[in-house]
Structures are given as structure tokens and as C-alpha cells.
Amino acid sequence: MTVGTLSEQAVQFYNQNGYSLYKKQVFSKEKLSELSAIFEEQWEMVGRKLNSELDTPHFRDERLLKFLLSDEVLDLVEPVIGPNIGLWSSHFICKEPVIGKQTPWHEDSAYWKGRLSSFDKIVTVWLAIDRSWKENGCMRVIPGTHNNGFSEYEAVDGRENIFETEIKSIDDSKAVYFELEPGECSLHDSRIIHGASSNSSPYRRCGYTMRYFSTEAKVYPEKNANHKIWLARGKDIAGNPFV
């Protein structure tokens, strides 16, 4: 299989807008099936609960490192954050049919504030395991909102939302929806404002988020108890506590 990368045009678009869609197969059919099977195992293990139960699954199941440290993914990441890449985290996100809650508008960086020295070179690769489209609550972003990263939040109803806070005063009409077929992915900056509507459709929506940072950033051990990071590619610049 030929390993893909982002075109120069796609990188320019990412830098300007804070995201890029990669509408090609990231992994071979066999490799995607293998990843899907690991997800189904993990989901079964937690009683098919919602996504909060499936944070950092690679800590429990190191088979996932085959995907997280793969050239297929790192060749997409390198053009946007550079050649020295740390694996920050991963997360299975599954919105169940009919009852899948909405993901309120947020920035990933806001949840990691104080844990790293900088947020300008952190990228999330969101790989579709199921078809992800508007009907079943695909991810959506507000383009160009990746130059801040710490907005003002307010409380929202936890019965309807995955999180209990949301960024204030977002104009939904500016949202771009990330519609992906299984095996395709999106990339987004950790500071971009994004979310997803609820899943009221009969179709499950599962994705695997793979998150990476430039090793120019320092990860503070005292703020990351029991959190493990791997050197995925290149060299460590800031002197990080890699596995």
C-alpha cells in the first residue's frame, strides 16, 4: 500500500483554517478491520458505554501502538507539526444510534491547559471507523478559530451533552461539517473550536482520535500523573518523559 501525505496546498489550508480533510484510505482494508475489531473488544469490555470510558485505550491495549506509531498516520502529521513528533493521546469516540449525546463547542487545548508548554503544534487525526456524516452527528468546526485556544466557557446540561461546559456565543452558521467514509480522516489543530450535534439517526458513529505534539513543547510530569507519552518520530527537543 502506498503511504499518503498531505499536499502543499492541504498544508497551507490547514495553517490558514486549522483543519484538513484527508478523503483517502489511511490504512489498508485489513489494517482498518484489525483496528475496528480492537474497538469492538474495548467497547464490549466497558459494557458498550459512551466515549468517556474509552480515553487513552492504548494504555490498556498496546496493540493500538501499531496504528498510532504507523507511517500511514505520521506521514500525515509531519507536514503540519514538523519531524519531531510525540504521541500525546488517543480516544475511541462512539456516538450510539438514536441516543448519542451532542458534543458541545470546545477547544481540546482548554482541557489540557497547564499540562504542556505550548499548543500551537498539536494535531488530532480523527479516523472514521463508521461512516460519519451530518445525519449521525459528525464533527464540525468553526474555521480559523485556532489562533487562540482558551475561550470563555459556560455550563450546559450534562444530560444532553458529553461535557458540562461549552464555549459562549458560537455562530453555528459558520460551521463546516466533516463528512467521512470509513477509513478516511480529518486533521485539526488542538486550539480550533469544534463540536458535534447529537446522533438521533439509526446509525452508530465511531471514530478513533490520534493526537500528536511537536517535541518542541515540554510536557510537565507533575501535571500529567499516570499519563504516558511516546516518541513517535524524530528526536526529543524539550526533554520530555517519554516511555
What is the rounded distance in angstroms from the CA atom of residue 48 to the CA atom of residue 2?
Answer: 35
The C-alpha angle 108, 96, 56, rounded to 5 degrees, equals 40
Query: Domain 8-233, what fold?
Result: Jelly Rolls (2.60.120)
Which distant-in-sequence residues (6+ apart) come within 8 Å of 92 by Cβ? 39, 42, 43, 51, 54, 57, 206, 207, 208, 209
Cell numbers for 63: 496493540
What ranges do the domains of the chain cover?
8-233
Q: What is the pTM of this model?
A: 0.93
Q: Which residue has the higher pLDDT, 86 or 169?
A: 86
Residues 162-203 have pLDDT tens digits of 777 788 989 999 999 999 999 999 999 999 999 999 899 999
Asked if pLDDT for residue 107 goes beyond 90, the answer is yes
